[in-house]
Chains A and B, each alone.
Chain A
Amino acid sequence: MDTTAHPLCAAGHDELFPRPSFLTRWRARLSGWLRRTDAANAGPTGNCATLTATRDLDQQMVTQLGRAVNLSEQSGLQLVTQVSELRTLSSRLVQYLEHSHTQSEAMQNGIEQSSHIIHELAAFVQTLPQQIAQERSHFKHLVSEVKGLADMTDAIRGIARQTEILAINAAIEAARAGDAGRGFAVLAGEVRRLATQSNESAARINHDITRLVKTVEVSYSGEFQARTRHNEAEAERLGGLTRQLDESYVDMRQFYAMLMTAITQHNTELDQGIALLLDSAQYQDVFKQIVDRVQPAIDSRNAVLADLVARLRGGQRDTAEIDTRARALVPEYLANEALHRDPDAATGAAPGNPGARIELF
């Protein structure tokens, strides 16, 4: 039998099967098998067996394609579910971050305030040694002034003594004057008594001042001076510590700000990755629909084969009409595919104008 006369051969085996790449291997295998079978089974009966087997194989292939679509759908769903869960976790992280950011701002404000306070404290502590030295100088001056008061009481006592002598002399002169000087003698006695009292008061004041100065001088001894020098040194040390604390606060604030920036950036990238994964999941549906469109093409081809088988079994050799139908299968399939052409596909890859991917009316 001349196989080129067979309608299948006339249409060309390769043209009878859809073009998607996942069918390529199957198409090549089937074409070879068909040629070998035709050669072994010369005559209409043999051709019928071949065509029936081809149709059965198609059915198996369609079943397997359906299974592949289901598997891809299941894995697509798993992917979307997992990505959604990831997104939920990511969302929670964002919430934590926002919360942390708010707290961070409050903390940074607190740190800034503390830093300001510490800065002021450091400045104050730095002036302490100088202040202590000034206080010590003022104290010395005060002691000197108090000692000056003691000198003044000495002068008062001198004046009192002179007044007393003067009063004694006046009393003597009053006695000499007899009755005429009696009143003056009483006055001289009063002056003497006042002078004595002044002298005693000045002596008491002098005594008190001397005791006070001694007390102050004892207090302002080597121990006191050593203590103030120690305080000065402590004040200087405290100044250094507060400066260190201030610097640590500044470092901590910078580190925290840097950490927040890094985490936020990481989360933004994670979000973008999730968005891309979700976008990619749409291809499962595109794939499913491409496979779904293979089924009607195979159904049409099977109908042609069924008619051919019927004619061959009926002993009819004229298959010109079936030839025409077979030749139309591929153009019909491609025309239908063109209606679903991806707008991003290269121009001229398939007939038809796909239009824009997004068109608002």
Chain B
Amino acid sequence: MTTIFLVDDSVTMLMSLKATLQIAGFKVETAGDGEQALVKIKNGLKPDLIITDINMPKMDGLELIRNVRKLLRFTPILTLTTESQQTKRDEAKQLGASGWMVKPVSGADLVKVIRQVLPGA
């Protein structure tokens, strides 16, 4: 089963997205900030896709992408944030993110994007 790793400091976001993705048939892991996410990955979590917020306490999304790329080189990473500015999008792209999404994104669109990034999922 395809595992999606959700990283967001908003519990509401985590829970609503988790429910949406579980309905779509994905296994979902969650973390409340970048630091917690990195610990889970260092402890052996190997998700098929990471979806991360950008503005988070302790470690933000861009920093998380930078660190994850050292551990998981090819795992696709999508951002899901209220930030819409181009400079941050460019930075995320440079760090190795696969895409940028501005909140809110409908569950149907999110699942469509996931299936584009992970064909066959």
Contact = CB atoms under 8 A, between A and B. Distances in A.
B23 interface: yes
Contacts of A275: 20, 23, 106-108
A281 interface: yes
A80 B16 contact: yes
Contacts of B10: 73, 284-285, 288
Given A84-B15, A280-B104, A355-B85, 7 more contacts: A80-B15, A84-B19, A275-B108, A282-B104, A289-B55, A340-B83, A352-B85
A27 to B, nearest CB: 24
B99 A286 contact: no
A278 interface: yes
B36 interface: no
Contacts of B86: 353, 355
B105 A358 contact: yes
Interface residues of A, number: 39
Contact of B19 (A80, A280, A283, A289): A80
23 contacts: A73-B10, A80-B12, A84-B19, A274-B23, A275-B23, A275-B106, A278-B17, A281-B12, A281-B13, A281-B15, A282-B12, A284-B10, A339-B83, A340-B82, A343-B102, A352-B84, A353-B86, A354-B102, A355-B84, A357-B105, A358-B105, A359-B101, A361-B92
Interface string A252-266: 000000000000000
Given A286-B104, A342-B84, A360-B99, A355 B12 contact: no
A289 to B, nearest CB: 5
Nearest to A283: B104
A325 interface: no
A281 B116 contact: no
B18 to A, nearest CB: 8
A343 B103 CA distance: 9
A275 B86 CA distance: 30
Contact of A286 (B82, B92, B93, B97): B82
Nearest to A357: B102
A341 B23 contact: no
What is the interface residue range for chain B against chain A?
Answer: 35 or more
A83 B20 CA distance: 10
A84 B18 CA distance: 9
Interface string A298-326: 00000000000000000000000000000
Nearest to B101: A358
The 9 residue pairs across chains A and B that have the minimum distance between CB atoms = A282-B104, A281-B16, A354-B84, A76-B12, A285-B10, A360-B99, A80-B15, A339-B85, A84-B19
Interface string B24-45: 0000000000000000000000
B8 to A, nearest CB: 8
Which of the listed residues A73, A279, A339, A352 has the most CB atoms from chain B within 10 Å of its own CB?
A279
A283 B100 CA distance: 18
Interface string A333-361: 00000111111000000001111111111
B23 A355 contact: no
B11 interface: yes
Interface in B19-77: 19-20, 23, 55
B75 to A, nearest CB: 14
Given A279-B106, A289-B55, A361 B84 contact: no
A260 B23 CA distance: 22
Nearest to B86: A355
Nearest to B87: A339
A87 interface: yes
A274 B24 CA distance: 12
Contacts of A354: 84, 102
A361 B99 contact: yes
Contacts of B105: 282, 357-358
A216 interface: no
A271 B108 CA distance: 12
Contacts of B97: 361
Contacts of A284: 10, 12
